[in-house]
Amino acid sequence: MSYGISKLLQNLMPVLVLFGLMIFTYLFVSEEKIHAIPYFSQIPLVTLGIAVFLSWKFNRINSFYFLTLCLPVYAAQVFLLTYPVDINSFATQLIVAIACLILPLNATIMKTWRLAAGISFTNFKRLLFISSQFALLYWLLKNEQLIVLKYINPEMLAPFSPLPSVFPSSSIFIIPLAILVQIYSIYKKPNILEIHQLIALIAIFTGIFFIEHLHFTVLVYAGIGLMFSIAVIQESYEMAYIDTLTRLPGRRTMEEELQKLSGCFSIAMLDIDHFKKLNDNYGHDVGDQVLRMVAKHIRRVGGGGKPCRYGGEEFSIIFPGKMVSQVMPFLEILRDEIATTPFALRNKNRPKEIPSERQKKKTPSKLISVTVSIGISDSHKKNADSEEVLKTADKALYKAKKLGRNRSIYMKNTSAV
């Protein structure tokens, strides 16, 4: 399984668990017991509110506006469910239209608006755009303006709608459009929050089938709030601790790992040989591809090593509880694997799209050799300072480069007393 798919499944696991618990509760816990929970219908307002705050705090603007839309949609459904539900009533039809038309339409429109962080005129316009719609809908609901039903539920579309009658007939266009736009957004820029938005839309539309059951509606929106809260925190953590290019833990992670070290340990520093020359000759795009290729090998290092991207073309590997004699064989295997793996440069004349018929290559892609130099040091004595061991490993790295590169050099740490 590739790293990307594995990471995606890991990110989606809380969602699967969350919705699994929701389905279990809905199927096997009686509605009377759920309603006995104090302030049960207010739970989604809390979870959605927390998710809105976190999205704003961590600058996840798309999620912020989507969740801002979810809050009044849920509030409208709770208002409806405080009374006996009449599927054919004006209130039911209008509130269902909010979930099936207003929410997906706005979510789609927001994809075309320029993102802006913090307090800005762009964000003010967005909030004004959203609030004015719900103010109008509230006025329509309060004054029972039945004429609006002609627009949200045209009779000419009703015979062609495969959806149950509770759905407005115009939703046969709006719902698929919103889902397709969301799928395209995920395709263009894969992102766990965008995936969660697609899941949330599908969950909300599914909830319309069970519009008469308050506890199902509460579970859906409470789940959406929790799902986005977890995802925003998780993504913000990754931004702080994971290097976006190589997907290895970043320098901040390494600094925290250094503070945890005690007893015996080893630290290795790796540097890609002639990286500046490679960048100058082939461009930074090739340089980024080389960094990702090297990181892929480093991620698989044996011996219990914890790899990090130190910065630029440098990487570090921390081996807790291991001395140099125990980890050197794994580092040599790593160095040899990188050196013997040819790196193929993309042909400049290569078409952007795959041709319908494969043609035999007239000129093979140019292969270049990528090597790394490694410096390593260990604690030597149990009271060694991890920062000093790191500096010693860095000195060993520069010694390896001076001696001809593509080699591993051990240097004894003498800071411990």
Give catalytic residues, as residue numbers.
Answer: 313
The pair of structure tokens assigned to 384 is 């060694």
Rounded to whole angstroms, the maximal C-alpha distance in the chain is 88
Specify which residues 309 forms β-bridges with.
Answer: 315
Residues whose CB falls within 8 Å of the CB of residue 74, separated by 6 or more in sequence, listed in order:
44, 45, 48, 217, 221
How many Å apart are CA 377 and CA 392, to the nearest integer?
Answer: 6
How many Å apart are CA 83 and CA 201, to the nearest integer?
Answer: 25
Of the candidates 317, 323, 310, 311, the one whose C-alpha atom is nearest the C-alpha of residue 267 is 317
How many Å apart are CA 181 and CA 94, to the nearest integer?
Answer: 24
